Amino acid sequence: MTKLLLRALAGETLPTPPIWMMRQAGRYLPEYRTTRAKAGDFLSLCYNPELAAEVTLQPVRRFGFDAAILFADILLVPQALGADLWFVTGEGPRLSRIRAASDLAALKPADRIHERLAPIYETIRILRRELPAETALIGFAGAPWTVATYMIAGRGSPDQAPAHDLKNNDRASFTALIDLITEATIAYLSRQIEAGAEVVKLFDSWAGSLKGRDFDDFAVEPTRRIIAALKARHPGVPIIAFPREAGQRYIGFAKATGADCVALDNSVSAEWAAAHVQIDGCVQGNLAPQHMVTGGPNLIAEAQRITRAFRGGPHIFNLGHGITPDADPDNVARMIEAVRTA
Let me know: does 186 contact 223? Beta carbons within 8 Å: no
Distance CA 5, CA 23 (A): 17
Q: Is the dihedral of CA 134, 135, 139, 142 positive or negative?
A: positive
Torsion from C-alpha of 214, 206, 73, 11, nearest 10 degrees? -80
Catalytic site includes residue 97: no
Catalytic site includes residue 121: no
Distance CA 143, CA 147 (A): 6
Q: Which of 28, 32, 121, 150 is catalytic?
A: 150
Catalytic site includes residue 330: no
Catalytic site includes residue 47: no
Q: Which of 7, 23, 249, 334 is catalytic?
A: 23
Q: How far is CA 96 from CA 92, 107, 108, 153, 216, in A?
A: 14, 11, 14, 9, 28
Starting at the earlier edge strand, list the strands of the sheet with 199-204.
67-69, 136-142, 199-204, 239-243, 261-263, 282-287, 315-319
Mark residue 46 as left, alpha or beta (left: phi above 0; alpha: psi -120 to 50; beta: remaining).
alpha
Q: Which of 7, 32, 36, 260 is catalytic?
A: 36
Candidates 128, 213, 205; CA nearest to 167 is 213
Each residue of 195-210: b (16+ CB within 10 Å) or e? Answer: bbbbbbbbbbbbbbbb
Q: Which of 28, 32, 73, 265 is catalytic?
A: 73
Q: Which residues are catalytic?
A: 23, 27, 36, 73, 150
